[in-house]
Amino acid sequence: MTSSTPAHPTSIRVIDPADAAPLADLLAQDRQAYARWMPAKPAEFYTPDGQAAAIEALLTSYDLGLVWPGVVLSGETVIGRITISSILRDPFQKGFLGYWISSTHQGLGHTSRAVGLTLRVAEDELNLHRLEAHTQLDNLASQAILRKHGFTTWGVAHEHFYADGAWRDEVFWERRLTGTLSS
């Protein structure tokens, strides 16, 4: 086994209320490390109760077809989140891909495998025609993962995202899928 091969297989599934505590632990652990990449959240967000409320809202949106909220697992252990949000139907058939993996599980291929699995969900379960994503200009690791999975850039939005006390430029990404409009 090489250092880039995970000890446990990567999988994804729809988020569950039981994921609140492990997600809160991961988010609290990486709060400072991810401050540059994630918008500021109230302290409650980093607690099991805060995550339970977030999960409840996500599952409500999932039931309405507006989001596919997933967790990333290494074996049976929750190690991050992956989501297709802002799902638009009718003439668009698209969604927005977002993800994060705990710092202790990065560099092992989990993120790339989770993106690949989520592309299958987008095509096979959601019948989407397009996925979009954003990365900050200097998030080279995420950009490499998106490129590996067939995403291409289509522009840069200057001062698009506010995190860690500054407006940040972001690269816009897109990937066409096989989804079609149903009649």
Report residue 30 as tokens.
Answer: 């990486």
Measure the CA–CA gap between 132 and 97, rounded to whole angstroms. Answer: 6
In the chain (183 residues long), the average pLDDT of successive 10-residue segments reads 59 98 95 78 92 98 98 97 96 96 92 97 96 93 96 94 86 89 52
DSSP 140: H
DSSP of 44-98: GGGSHHHHHHHHHHHHHHHHTTS-EEEEEEETTEEEEEEEEEEEE-TT--EEEEE
pLDDT at 178: 84
Question: What's this model's pTM, rounded to 2 decimal places?
Answer: 0.90
In CATH, 10-176 is 3.40.630.30: yes
pLDDT at 163: 81
pLDDT at 3: 38
Domain ranges of the chain: 10-176
Per the listing, tokens 């897109």 go with 174
Measure the CA–CA gap between 156 and 150, rounded to whole angstroms. Answer: 18
Measured at the CA of 28, the angle between CA 21 and CA 38, to 5 degrees, comes to 115
pLDDT at 172: 96
Nearest to 142 by CA among 108, 176, 103, 100: 100
Q: Environment class of residue 5 by beta-carbon count within 10 Å: exposed (0-12), middle (13-18) or buried (19+)?
A: exposed
pLDDT at 25: 96
